Amino acid sequence: DVKVTQSSRYLVKRTGEKVFLECVQDMDHENMFWYRQDPGLGLRLIYFSYDVKMKEKGDIPEGYSVSREKKERFSLILESASTNQTSMYLCASRLAGYEQYFGPGTRLTVT
């Protein structure tokens, strides 16, 4: 079974803080993704990575950056958290084909 884990299920941060969200997959997948899910907006792609140290912007990269130093780990960084970044953040990974496997999500609240 593919396992994708995220470092925190719930996180509360203050405006202006630097926030790190970690994602780890255990299946040697090449591709990893970060999404955010908001009510009425579905899943929106923030960034994705198709190899170590490689990254590409998704549909809503503004205010975020990513890091992939090892194949199994993909980090999402909020450089200076803002209240409009309060959301559910979902990490996913994929080996080949189309199906992506998702982690349990991190509910981030920025106050």
Partner 1 sequence: DQQVKQNSPSLSVQEGRISILNCDYTNSMFDYFLWYKKYPAEGPTFLISISSIKDKNEDGRFTVFLNKSAKHLSLHIVPSQPGDSAVYFCAASDKGGSEKLVFGKGTKLTVNP
45 touching partner 1, by CB under 8 A: yes
7 touching partner 1, by CB under 8 A: no
CA distance to 42, 97, per residue, from 34 (Å): 13, 18
Q: Which one of 19, 24, 29, 48 is in contact with partner 1 (CB under 8 A)? A: 48
Strand 87-94, strand 31-38: pairing: antiparallel
Residue range at the interface with partner 1 (CB under 8 A); choices 11-19, 67-75, 77-85, 89-97: 89-97
64 touching partner 1, by CB under 8 A: no
71 touching partner 1, by CB under 8 A: no
69 touching partner 1, by CB under 8 A: no
Can you tell me whether residue 1 is helix, strand or coil? coil
102 touching partner 1, by CB under 8 A: yes
